[in-house]
Structure 1
Amino acid sequence: MDSRFNRNDVQLLGKKTLYKGFFKMDEYRFKHRLFNGGWSDVVSREVFERGHAVVVLPYDPISDQVVLIEQIRIPVLDSGKTPWLLELVAGMIDCGETSLDVAHRELQEEAGLCAQALMKVNEFFSSPGGTSERFDFYWAKVSAAEAKGVHGLDHEQEDIQVHVLSREEAYQMVISGRIDNASTVIGLLWLQLNYQDIVKQYA
């Protein structure tokens, strides 16, 4: 189902940068068409601008195993059970890079793996109520037997532990809430729905 509205139904009245550091915060002032007709009053919203990213699900269809990484995420210190999260491989798209380039690079940097095949699944916004960030989601055919050790870039202060789990174990961690970050939940639920087709094709 397509939305009845598009970009032409927004009047952007102003945009200014409130903060610029490692990330950026912009303020938007705009009006938009209403479902019941007419236009809204002027709306002001702060938007967290961090660029766009890639997320990669490393899966071995031969052994039916997934590769996850574990690292500290300080924003969840107060509200999470632990600030060390089990995640999929992910990274930001820098200027001049394609999402495919980033997928290969991050798979090597964060998990020490080379993709035997890399397929784009879809795109999704991480939290559109507050940030413009969009993820390009890939799954990578890998050899889980090659996944081991601690990885990450020293100059980015990364400390990343690699874990190999059965697909079913990873899925149960989503169901139990042990895995509770959005991109990893989305990726593992997608895998649970599609692994049989993947296994038929690649195993």
Structure 2
Amino acid sequence: MTRLPNHPPLPGQDSPTRVEMTENDFRHRGFMDFSVMRLRHERFAGGMTPMIERDVCYRSYAVAIVLYDPKADLLVMVEQFRVGAFAAGVNPWMLEFVAGMVKPGENAADVAVREAQEEAGCVPYNVRLIYSMLPSPGGCTEIVEIFAGLVDSTGIGGIHGVEEEVEDIRVHLVPAERAIALMDENRVPSGFTLLGLSWFARHREALRR
């Protein structure tokens, strides 16, 4: 089951639809699963490609949430260690929006609210879905649903996280103008956070009203 709409890239445009997979050989199973897939697919000009081999990373669904206090004009953001950034040679302590994994059978919006409580100590209201996205569609199955919610930031701060998950999360109250400036200065490398900030910059005034 997918959480993304299956529609062509442009409205009213037809795209190829045929894919033939002959093998999906799982080489590793763990927090993320990895397989080597052999397939061929339909070409734009007709006919099929030769058989191709691709590595695929299988990762669970995730959520993120843009937490905004319209009265104080502050975004609630978190800072934590990210092993992927460390492996890439990037500063692994990253400024992000609250995020978390969705377990089978869970409602994504409920998970976003729960993660806001666990990671930032706040309870958002007027929560709504703003985007569904694939962070790395060239080789990873992960789908992230990005939500937005309003909060009262009074008293929010400190260090949070679930001890059993070895979470060490510091909460920041970031003025809206500063957060947008950080994005424009190329200082927010987290993909879902960039996408959420881009949406927020366009909708900030409407949220304040």
SS class of match (1:18): strand
1:4 aligns with 2:49: no
On the 8 A contact 1:113/1:146 being kept in 2, the answer is no
Overall identity of the aligned pairs, in %: 32
Aligned length, in residue pairs: 199
Rounded Cα–Cα distance in structure 1 between residues aligned with 2:66 and 2:44: 38
Report the CA distance between 1:16 and its aligned residue: 2.2
On the 8 A contact 1:53/1:136 being kept in 2, the answer is yes
Q: 1:128 — aligned with what?
A: 137
Q: 1:74 — aligned with what?
A: 83
Q: 1:23 — aligned with what?
A: 32
Q: 1:55 — aligned with what?
A: 64
Rounded Cα–Cα distance in structure 2 between residues aligned with 1:80 and 1:29: 31
Higher mean alpha-carbon deviation, 44-53 vs 156-165, is at: 44-53
SS class of match (1:77): helix
Q: Deviations over 1:172-200 (max 9, x none)?
A: 11111221111001101110011111112
On the 8 A contact 2:26/2:34 being kept in 1, the answer is yes
Report the CA distance between 1:81 and its aligned residue: 4.7
Kindly provide the amino acid, as one letter, of the partner of residue 127 in structure 1: S
Rounded Cα–Cα distance in structure 2 between residues aligned with 1:27 and 1:60: 45
- Cα separation, partners in 2 of 1:19 and 1:152, compared to 1, 3 Å: same
Say which of 73, 82, 85 aligns to 1:64.
Answer: 73
Task: Extract unaligned runs of 5+ from structure 1.
Answer: none
CA RMSD of aligned residues (A): 1.4
Task: Extract unaligned runs of 5+ from structure 2.
Answer: 1-9
Instruction: Compute the TM-score of the two structures, normalised by the length of structure 2.
Output: 0.90
Rounded Cα–Cα distance in structure 2 between residues aligned with 1:175 and 1:81: 18
Higher mean alpha-carbon deviation, 100-109 vs 161-170, is at: 100-109
Q: Deviations over 1:114-135 (max 9, x none)?
A: 0122111121111111211111
Say which of 129, 148, 164 aligns to 1:139.
Answer: 148
Q: 2:186 — aligned with what?
A: 177
Q: Which has the higher helix share?
A: 1
Q: Deviations over 1:132-166 (max 9, x none)?
A: 11111100100122321111111111000000011
Q: Deviations over 1:47-77 (max 9, x none)?
A: 1111111010101111111011000112222
SS class of match (1:76): helix
SS class of match (1:110): helix
Rounded Cα–Cα distance in structure 1 between residues aligned with 2:89 and 2:71: 34
Say which of 118, 121, 143 aligns to 1:112.
Answer: 121
Report the CA distance between 1:4 and its aligned residue: 2.3
SS class of match (1:198): helix
Q: 1:168 — aligned with what?
A: 177
SS class of match (1:145): coil
1:91 aligns with 2:100: yes
SS class of match (2:154): helix
Report the CA distance between 1:95 and its aligned residue: 1.1
Higher mean alpha-carbon deviation, 60-69 vs 14-23, is at: 14-23
On the 8 A contact 1:67/1:165 being kept in 2, the answer is yes
